Structure 1
């Protein structure tokens, strides 16, 4: 397995990915977590790289990241 696939998520990345798992827009996720939209976008982008899904089409990244993180036990199911 490649390096990025083994990298765990930071607590903040896991928190944002968990909050975004339902497909809510970034602005809604930011509101839920009381952070800026840009913060959510940056943490999700970092999580996508760590989970090795950043190369996927934009429409598929989030769900692929959620599936991968759940399968690895990085976020709650």
Structure 2
């Protein structure tokens, strides 16, 4: 199941390792909404079973492999 546009946006913003609060500030949305969108994305990508500390990296990897979020630019890599 693909990501919603908002889930993709939040996961893309979080891919750099930013905290939930930093992503929320960047997107102008409450921290709780960021957390909820990421949790939903983890389920859609099938990584919600992973240990908590591994979910975000796994979700970013899977989403990039599937072309759901952009790969990092050379400047950001």
User: Which of residues 31, 54, 60 in structure 2 aligns to 1:66?
Assistant: 60
The normalised TM-score by structure 1 is 0.91
Residue aligned with 2:47, SS: coil
* Over 2 Å off, 4+ runs: none
Matched, 1:27 2:31: no
Q: CA RMSD in A?
A: 0.3
String of CA shifts for 1:31-70, please: whole Å, max 9, x gaps: 0000000000000000000000000000000000000000
Ranges in structure 1 where 5+ consecutive residues have no aligned partner: 1-6
Q: How many residue pairs align between the two structures? A: 71
Ranges in structure 2 where 5+ consecutive residues have no aligned partner: 72-77
Matched, 1:12 2:12: no
